[in-house]
Structure 1
């Protein structure tokens, strides 16, 4: 059972192609299951579309859901199209996000921390002039937020849990084993999966998220894993999926998971 649960499309403002383009790319890549999981609108902002180059407008959410459900029926028997979404985690707006997303029949919700202390995790400038202690504090807060998102009960999958290294590869060199282990233990206790996300190859860090070291720790704590290309163009659907599967087996994982109607489905590696 071949799956990719993390794809975007034109509505978010920074991806190319239609939902249909990603479904067709999934079929061409030999997938049995493709999840459509564009970014949630910024519900916490009073604006209709606070960041047009980052996330869809609030009014587009219902059209997004309707389109995915329509294509789900159209492609039945050819590929299983799942209705997902990638949600930001903002503690101050968590209940608003929870209530809003609960109104739709999502198969799964990916929870991703994209901002720490009001600053994008991908902002290269955020690291300029910081002392080693300040860098460690930023990394610790990142993993604290991820752990908090796991405890929220809003998500089935946590997205790209070391993506803060994306445009700052030195992030991986900031030693925070205790914070990472505490986060992984919470994820395990809450029964969530983490995704192996291959979009790191499009950033300065290269490779995928999370690192092999974190995956080894995740296995130790009993954290389950899923897969998402985080494709922002159809050509990246299922990118490196087979390589990821092979590496997971080398690390010691026996299976990975995806979600349908919020229920976990286990697939042998």
Structure 2
């Protein structure tokens, strides 16, 4: 059993607990593969979140590099108990973030084993921080009416996602429909041009071999589904996309959180296959030595679920 997306309070100011506590909790719950993926640094003071205001940009960069040191230490220390993968979660606020990530990946080489490709901003404004900030991002688009503004917002989000996919080919597509975090009842079918962008992004990701995460964090955001919701699941499935699991934990208390609900959701949307990442001797489309592997056997029968449903 696996999760490919996590954070800790040691290296992410809006999370809690130490990275080692996260790893120990994953072991206790019976995870066999667990991904450690802190956010990459940001490059402008204006992009720091309120809880980070005491940090300089240099300190933020050092915090990320310290994460990599600790993650690899834990990977070695607990190798007999769990397979830890060391990756990162992307940011795309301006092109500065993409250029910074390109430089970072060249510098770090194989110390970064894989990427979770995520977008958390539109027009340079956070869309998952709180409802008023999301409203500011939405209001930053000029349009004749609310529907036009919503459409412009969604188009910008999926264009940013596409740019990220093209430049980095992340192995895991992070919370693909985060853009409707505060509007979970929104259906993309109401916006045909948005659907075209989604289909384009999904086709591109499928072609180079990405996995699409089914992310349990949506449940703690009061969604009745995981990310992505069922309409996106159908689009991914229609193009032959492959799914992997993530808890997107922000501390040991959230490791495996709502995985019992995730199991029910997977059954509901008829996901019959799961995939996960493992180290490889050959390079993938992005040039990183990691590959997707199909879950062997029936994932519904895995012993892991017995403890999550009791």
What is the TM-score normalised by the length of structure 2? 0.77
Counterpart Cα distance in 2 of 1:6 and 1:28: 18
The residue number in structure 2 matching 1:211 is 229
1:267 and 2:277 equivalent? no
1:256 and 2:275 equivalent? yes
Distance 1:83 1:9, change over 3 A: same
Counterpart Cα distance in 2 of 1:168 and 1:16: 27
SS in 2 for 1:208: coil
Cα pair 2:18 2:251 within 8 Å, conserved = no
How many Å apart are 1:64 and its aligned residue? Answer: 0.9
Counterpart Cα distance in 1 of 2:22 and 2:224: 23
The residue number in structure 2 matching 1:114 is 120
Cα pair 2:216 2:258 within 8 Å, conserved = yes
Point out where structure 1 has 5 or more consecutive residues left out of the alignment.
none
Counterpart Cα distance in 2 of 1:152 and 1:66: 26
Counterpart Cα distance in 2 of 1:58 and 1:120: 20
Point out where structure 2 has 5 or more consecutive residues left out of the alignment.
280-288, 300-310
Q: How many residues align?
A: 266
How many Å apart are 1:247 and its aligned residue? Answer: 4.2
Counterpart Cα distance in 2 of 1:152 and 1:193: 16
SS in 1 for 2:67: helix
1:158 and 2:176 equivalent? no
Q: 2:79 aligns with which of 76, 79, 82?
A: 76
How many Å apart are 1:103 and its aligned residue? Answer: 2.5
How many Å apart are 1:67 and its aligned residue? Answer: 0.6
Runs of 4+ in 1 over 6 A off after TM superposition: none
Higher-helix-fraction structure: 2
Correspondences of 1:1-269 after superposition (within 5 Å): 2-10=1-9, 11-42=11-42, 44-45=43-44, 47=45, 50-51=48-49, 53=51, 57-90=60-93, 92-93=95-96, 94-104=98-108, 105-122=111-128, 123-126=133-136, 127=138, 131-172=146-187, 174-175=190-191, 176-241=194-259, 243-245=261-263, 247-248=265-266, 251-260=270-279, 261-268=289-296, 269=299
Cα pair 2:2 2:276 within 8 Å, conserved = no
Distance 1:154 1:102, change over 3 A: farther
What is the TM-score normalised by the length of structure 1? 0.88
Give the number of the structure whose alpha-carbon radius of gyration is greater: 2
How many Å apart are 1:121 and its aligned residue? Answer: 1.8
Counterpart Cα distance in 2 of 1:35 and 1:113: 18
How many Å apart are 1:180 and its aligned residue? Answer: 1.9
Counterpart Cα distance in 2 of 1:206 and 1:98: 36
Over residues 32-81 of structure 1, what are the superposed CA-to-partner deviations in whole Å (9 max), with x where a residue is unaligned?
Answer: 11111111110x32x59944636971111221111111111111111112
Cα pair 1:227 1:241 within 8 Å, conserved = no
Q: Higher mean Cα deviation, 10-19 or 114-123?
A: 114-123
